[in-house]
């Protein structure tokens, strides 16, 4: 909505473990309560080709194939949100990548408690509910990968915007 250095757009992906546990509404509500504006939302299955594009940076790593398998194990929810400092706000709300170390009050800290060691014993990859872009560059690339420009709603004014 705004045009300045503090207003950002970012990408969020709720992984199949979040969808299968019926946490979609609870997770989206946290972003909305933090003052972020939802501008795109879709439930979809992920093709192998799309999973490979999304996780291209991890190709060749030991957890790459299990990561692809996890992302394709059920439907995902993809979202575009925007707001003041959106990228860092989303990352703060999501919590540490390893849920065992995520602070209480974060999405991973409240809904997922598995650690890397346990996940290697069971799955080879950690089911940690959610992916969120970590920089303006990754947000732009991930938004472009998952959404066409016409799929992202035009910015709109929230009635509580003056408080955000």
Q: Where are the domains of the chain?
A: 7-150
The two beta strands, 37-44 and 130-132, are unpaired
Using an 8 Å Cβ cutoff, are 114 and 129 in contact?
no
Q: Would you state the pLDDT for residue 20?
A: 97
Do 142 and 11 touch, CB atoms closer than 8 A? yes
What is the reported pLDDT for 14? 98
pTM: 0.93
- Annotated catalytic residues are 131
How many other CB atoms are there within 10 angstroms of residue 115's CB atom?
Answer: 13
Query: Residue-wise pLDDT tens for the chain (164 aa)?
Result: 556 789 999 999 999 999 999 999 999 999 999 999 999 999 999 999 999 999 999 999 988 999 999 999 999 999 999 999 999 999 999 999 999 999 999 999 999 988 888 877 777 778 899 999 999 999 999 999 999 999 999 888 889 888 77
**Which tokens go with 106?**
């974060």
Distant-in-sequence, close-in-space partners of 124: CB < 8 Å, separation ≥ 6: 62, 63, 65, 66
What's the rounded Cα separation, in Å, for the pair 71 and 49?
12
**What pLDDT is stored for residue 4 in this prediction?**
77
Per-residue pLDDT at 2 = 54
Q: Quick one: fold of 7-150? A: Alpha-Beta Plaits (3.30.70)
Instruction: Sheet containing 130-132: give its strands across.
Output: 37-44, 76-84, 7-14, 130-132
The two tokens of residue 114 are: 């598995």
Which long-range contacts does 91-97 make (Cβ < 8 Å, 24+ apart)?
91/132, 91/134, 93/30, 93/31, 93/34, 94/130, 94/132, 97/126, 97/128
């Amino acid at each position: 909505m705004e045009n300045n250095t503090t207003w950002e757009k970012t990408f969020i992906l709720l992984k199949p473990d979040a969808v299968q546990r019926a946490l979609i509404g609870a997770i989206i509500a946290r972003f909305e309560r933090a003052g972020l504006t939802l501008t795109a939302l879709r439930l979809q299955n992920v093709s192998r080709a799309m999973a490979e594009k999304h996780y291209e940076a991890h190709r060749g790593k030991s957890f790459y194939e299990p990561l692809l398998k996890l992302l394709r194990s059920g439907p995902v929810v993809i979202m575009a949100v925007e707001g003041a400092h959106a990228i860092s706000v989303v990352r703060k709300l999501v919590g540490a990548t390893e849920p065992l170390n995520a602070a209480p009050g974060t999405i991973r800290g409240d809904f997922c408690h598995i650690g890397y060691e346990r996940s290697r014993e069971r799955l080879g990859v950690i089911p940690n509910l959610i992916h969120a872009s970590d920089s303006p560059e990754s947000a732009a690339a991930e938004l472009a990968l998952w959404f066409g420009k016409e799929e992202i709603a035009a910015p709109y004014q929230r009635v509580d915007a003056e408080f955000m």
